[in-house]
Amino acid sequence: MTQAAGIVLAGGRSSRMGSPKAALEWHGSTLLRRICGIVARGVDGPVVVVRAPGQDLPELPDDVHVVEDAREGRGPLQGISAGLHAVRDEAEAAYVSSTDVPLLHPRFVAAVLGALDGDTDVVLPQVGGHRHPLAAAYRTELADAVERLIAADRMKPAFLFEAARVKRLDAEALLADPALAALDPGLDSVLNLNARDDYEAARARPAPEVTVRRFGALRRLGDGLPDPALIRAATLGEAAAAAGLTLDEHVVAALNGDQITRDPQAPLAAGDAVSFLAADAGG
């Protein structure tokens, strides 16, 4: 069993946004694709998307599982329940995220999960005067307790927090993590988008600053770009374009020296290091 899974709630009516949030464009990708990728980097277990019954979703990586709410429009507890049930045999805890947090940083996910200890069932960030139950960590064994609340029609997360051992993390506590303080000093990870204006303002922000390196014969590409180079890119595709590369069958990328990918929609976050290398590693 892994320590932590990711649960991304994609349901919700998006009524103030005017169109489904999950499919909103984000630097050549979609909001849902981005959040799934960011959450995946903060957990060591599976990532599950919870959608409304029959809801259309944008394209997702093959390793993202999709489950459905039992009923539509009953609020976040319904989605949390579906998600916790889906992962409880595979993980001890889960980071639960909404779809509409495009500035979420993987380090935030890791920091919240890292605060979970033996005396805690829920780690609940409290930033800007608000509790953030959809940017929080939950023990998966809470699945039955959540189900009981739903059966009793007690649909607010607050009812769960009354029944569980909750550790609240304020901004000061979160920023005590030096890595998070460096990468997301404003805790924009919890900035959620409700209306069209919110989306457009967030979309107009500069993409995160990342470091790109090109190895071997790829270094001569990039039109004089130094190596390494600091660029702004929200996805691997944007980073490749900035480096003068195309993510075809001859080029792969390593994210922070770890995951290898050639998915142009792979999300990038501030402080990431992207290494582009020849796909053929023969030697």
Partner 1 sequence: MEASPTPGGYFGRALVVDVTDGSAETLPLPDDVLRAYIGGAGLGAWLMHELAPPGVDPLGPEAPLAFCFSPLVGTPLTTSAKFAVVAKSPLTGLLNDALASSHFAIAGKLTGHDAIVVRGACAEPSVLLVDGDGPRLEPAGDLWGLPADDAERKLRERLGKAWRVASIGPAGERQVKYATVSHDGRHAGRGGLGAVLGAKLVKAVAVRPATKVASHNPHAVLEAARDLRTRSFGPATAKYRELGTLANLLAFNAIATLPTRNFQAATFSEAPRLAAEDLAEARGIARESCASCSIGCEHIYRSAGGKGVRVEYENVFALGPLCGVSDPDAVLEASRRCDEYGLDTISAGGTIAWAMECAERGLIDAPWLRFGDADAMLRAIDEIGAREGLGALLAEGSRAAAHIVGQGSIAFAPQVKGLELPGYEPRTLQAMALGLAVNARGADHNRSGAYEADLSGRHDRLSGGSPHVAAAIGTEDRAAVMDSLILCKFLRGVFDDPFPEWARLLSAVTGWDVDGDELEATARRIVLAKRAFNAREGWTRGDDALPDRFLDESLDLASGRTATLTRERLDAMIQEYYGARGLDPSGLLGTEQMEDLRLGVPVR
Asked if 226 is part of the footprint of partner 1 (rule: CB under 8 A), the reply reads no
To the nearest whole angstrom, how small is the minimum distance from the Cβ of residue 114 to partner 1? 10
Q: How far is the CB of 181 from partner 1 (least distance, A)?
A: 16
Q: Which of residues 157-216 bind partner 1 (CB under 8 A)?
A: 213, 215-216
Q: Does 283 bind partner 1 (CB under 8 A)?
A: yes
Residues 74-113 that bind partner 1 (CB under 8 A): 110
- Which of these, 66, 47, 64, 57, lies nearest to 14 by C-alpha position? 57
275 binds partner 1 (CB under 8 A): yes
229 makes contact with partner 1 (CB under 8 A): no
Q: Rounded to 5 degrees, what are φ and ψ at 224? A: 80, 5
Q: How far is the CB of 17 from partner 1 (least distance, A)?
A: 33
What ranges make up the beta strands (E) of 69-150?
91-98, 122-127, 130-131, 135-139
Which span (46-54, 155-163, 194-202, 254-262) binds partner 1, by CB under 8 A? 254-262
| Among the listed residues 17, 137, 255, 268, the single contact to partner 1 using CB under 8 A | 255
CA distances from 260 to 39, 189, 253 (A): 17, 25, 6
Nearer to partner 1, 185 or 216 (CB): 216
- Give whichever of 145 and 274 is closer to partner 1, judged by the CB atom: 274
What is the CA angle 62-213-33, rounded to 5?
Answer: 25
What is the smallest separation between the CB atom of 115 and partner 1, expressed in angstroms? 16
Name residue, tokens 């009354």.
Answer: 162
**Could you tell me if 145 and 138 are in contact, meaning their C-beta atoms sit under 8 angstroms apart?**
no
The Cα 238–Cα 236 span in angstroms is 5
| Structural tokens at position 44 | 């060591």
Give the binding site for partner 1 (CB under 8 A): 44, 110, 213, 215-217, 219-220, 248, 250, 252-263, 275, 277-283
